[in-house]
Amino acid sequence: MATVYAYGPLGAGHVNPTLGIVTELVRRGHQVTYWAPQMFAERIIETGARFEPVTSTWEQLEGGPPQMHGKELIGAMGLLLDETAAMVPRLIHAPPPDLVLHDGTLAWWGRVLAHHWDVSAVETWPNFVGNEHWSMNAYTKINPLSPRFLWQILRIGRYLRSQGIRDIGSFMQGKLAAARLVTIPRAFQYAGDTFTGWDFVGPALTQRSFQTDWTPPAGDLPVLLVALGTGYNAQPDFFRMMISSAAARPWHVVLAIGDQVDPDGLGSVPDNVEVHEQVPQLAVLRHARAFVTHAGMGSTMEGIDHQVPMVAVPQMAEQRAKADRIAELGLGRALSPENLDASSLWAAVDAVAEDPDVHRRLARMREECVAAGGAPRAAEVIEQVLDTHGTDSRTDR
């Protein structure tokens, strides 16, 4: 039995992919303590792990956690450094664990703490990863000679050296980790066959009993789920368009508008539309015939798991890469949010819902997800790391 410390950032798309893994570790008898913002308490407690709340410096940011790509990258690097510098002194005095498990994209403090304790770290990566064959540079580029970029690199380097970490490049890329778990199947990753040094374990979904269930209304209307995620969902015009155009459509529409849109400003809601701030997404997907999504990776994997054809309406560059992959693999269609009209969106919804090829490809990709191993495979990798580097009980330290 090992003692594992898990760290999650302020981002549901980075915490949710770890829940199944933590659940499996607890089932195998490991003692897991999970530090994350209070909003994730219920779902973490459900895993059987001990939950410890932390306050994120990002909680006052508009639009959610920083995005590590494109035009936002330089600012995000600074925010990540500030968050790491705030988290480390709060967490470093805990007794050393046997292993650190943390989100590789945003929870940099997991790397620093593992280095301080001289224990192995395993990182979870819930998005596309990059190498010399494919990277997000295909969608957004950054000038490496930009003064702002160089200043952030200087700041990060200075901080890491103060923590005894010299290899800044390897730190930034997660190469110091004993293992990197990618929670998508290799078949969904661009140029997936070219990646080495990564374990593509696929999604590790849980039942999420912490969320309420959802039952479709009486009648035979097919269900359409419309959700733009938690970070870039301040799109009142889009939701208004969906509501106003749904009355004449033979669909029951479940709309998740997030907490940045005033429902009272969306106009009259027809009988075949439900408007919610949030919905129990997995419960709705169990009944859905189609899914209009922002193409966040978590939502994409959930759509595949439930074999629901997708219409991707990406809200930023990283989501655009996923939307294009959805279309490229025939799992649905991708639409540009610029100048999107109701007729084009509904035409895409009707088309994917009835396309037998889309359904066949979704079934095939779901098989790839299952074959990747999910939570049991992730736990095996973690236990291999523990066996390789040695495990002892540190709970009495």
Judge whether 156 lies within some domain. Answer: yes
Q: How many domains does the chain have?
A: 2
Mean pLDDT of 154-173: 94
Give pLDDT tens digits for 235-276.
889 999 999 999 989 999 999 998 778 888 888 999 999 999
Judge whether 396 lies within some domain. Answer: no
Give pLDDT tens digits for 337-384.
888 999 999 999 999 999 999 999 999 999 999 999 999 999 999 999
Interatomic CA distance for residues 32 and 25, integer angstroms: 8
DSSP states along 278-325: ---HHHHHTTEEEEEE---HHHHHHHHHTT--EEE--SSHHHHHHHHH
pLDDT > 50? residue 177: yes
168 and 121 belong to one structural domain: yes
150 and 18 belong to one structural domain: yes
DSSP-derived secondary structure letter, 277: S
Q: What pLDDT sits at residue 393?
A: 38
Q: What pLDDT sits at residue 274?
A: 95
Judge whether 210 lies within some domain. Answer: no
139 and 286 belong to one structural domain: no
Domain of 178 in residue numbering reads as 3-202+373-389
CB 22, CB 47: distance < 8 Å: yes
Give pLDDT tens digits for 45-84.
999 999 999 999 998 876 556 665 556 778 888 999 999 9
Judge whether 108 lies within some domain. Answer: yes
Q: What pLDDT sits at residue 397?
A: 28
Q: What pLDDT sits at residue 309?
A: 98
Judge whether 208 lies within some domain. Answer: no
Judge whether 325 lies within some domain. Answer: yes
Interatomic CA distance for residues 385 and 46, integer angstroms: 25
301 and 324 belong to one structural domain: yes
Sheet holding 332-334, edge to edge: 273-276, 252-256, 223-227, 288-293, 310-312, 332-334
pLDDT > 50? residue 394: no
Q: How far apart are the first and last CA of the chain?
A: 15
In the chain, the percentage of residues whose pLDDT exceeds 90 is 74
Helices (H), the chain: 12-27, 41-46, 73-91, 109-117, 147-162, 168-173, 236-246, 281-285, 297-305, 317-328, 342-354, 356-372, 374-389
Judge whether 269 lies within some domain. Answer: yes
Query: 204 in helix, strand or coil?
Result: coil
Average model confidence (pLDDT) across the chain: 91
187 and 278 belong to one structural domain: no
190 and 54 belong to one structural domain: yes
Look up the CATH number of the domain holding residue 179.
3.40.50.2000
DSSP-derived secondary structure letter, 110: H
pLDDT > 60? residue 189: yes
Give pLDDT tens digits for 198-243.
999 999 988 777 667 888 888 899 999 999 876 666 788 999 999 9
pLDDT > 90? residue 15: yes
